[in-house]
Structure 1
Amino acid sequence: MDRRHFLQMMLAAPLIVSIPLNAAFAASADAEPQAALLRASELLTGRRGLDPAITARLWQLLVDKDASFPAQLTRLIGNLAALKTEDREAIVGHLDDEDVKTALTIISPWYLGYTGNPSTTKAVDDAHFVTFLSALMYEPTSDHTIRPTYARAGGDYWVEVPKGVTAPAMPENIREWGDKSPQAAPTIREPEEPWLLMVQGKARTLAEAQDMIAHKKTA
Structure 2
Amino acid sequence: MPGPASPEAPITLTRRRLVLASGAAIFTAQWWASRTSYAQELVTADQSGVSAFMKLSRFVTGHDNLNLETGTALFAGLQALRQTARQDIATLNTRIAQSQASDIEAFEPQIANDPLHPFVLQIIKGWYAGVLESGTNAKVYAFGNALMYQSTRDNIVIPTYAHNGPNYWLAEPNPVDAMPKF
TM-score bucket of the superposed structures, by smaller chain: 0.5 to 0.7
Matched with 1:131 is 142
Matched with 1:58 is 74
Q: CA deviation at 1:89?
A: 3.1
Q: 2:114 aligns with which of 92, 97, 113?
A: 97
Matched with 2:41 is none
Unaligned regions of 5+ residues in structure 1, if any? 1-30, 120-124, 156-172, 174-219
Matched with 1:107 is 124
Q: Distance in 2 between matches of 1:43 and 1:49?
A: 11
Change (3 A) 1:88 1:46: closer
Matched with 2:96 is 80
Q: Distance in 1 between matches of 2:108 and 2:124?
A: 14
Larger Rg over CA atoms: 1
Q: Distance in 2 between matches of 1:40 and 1:87?
A: 11
TM-score (norm 2): 0.58
Matching residue's letter, 1:47? H
Native 8 Å contact 2:59 2:104 kept in 1:
no
Matched with 1:40 is 56
TM-score (norm 1): 0.49
Matching residue's letter, 1:130? Y
Q: For residues 109-162 of structure 1, what are the alpha-carbon distances to aligned partners after superposition, in whole Å with 9 as ceiling and x for unaligned?
A: 11001121123xxxxx3x11101110011123223310112434867xxxxxxx
Native 8 Å contact 1:33 1:70 kept in 2:
yes
Matched with 1:151 is 163
Q: CA deviation at 1:72?
A: 1.1
Change (3 A) 1:88 1:109: closer
Identity %: 24
Matching residue's letter, 1:112? A
Change (3 A) 1:88 1:133: closer
Q: Distance in 1 between matches of 2:85 and 2:100?
A: 25
Give the paired residue count. Answer: 121
Change (3 A) 1:68 1:52: same
Matched with 2:26 is none
Q: CA deviation at 1:81?
A: 0.9
Matched with 1:182 is none
Q: Distance in 2 between matches of 1:52 and 1:141?
A: 21
- Secondary structure at the aligned position of 2:116 is classed as helix
Q: For residues 60-115 of structure 1, what are the alpha-carbon distances to aligned partners after superposition, in whole Å with 9 as ceiling and x for unaligned?
A: 11111111111111111111111144364332111242232221121111100112
Native 8 Å contact 1:80 1:91 kept in 2:
yes
Matching residue's letter, 1:147? I
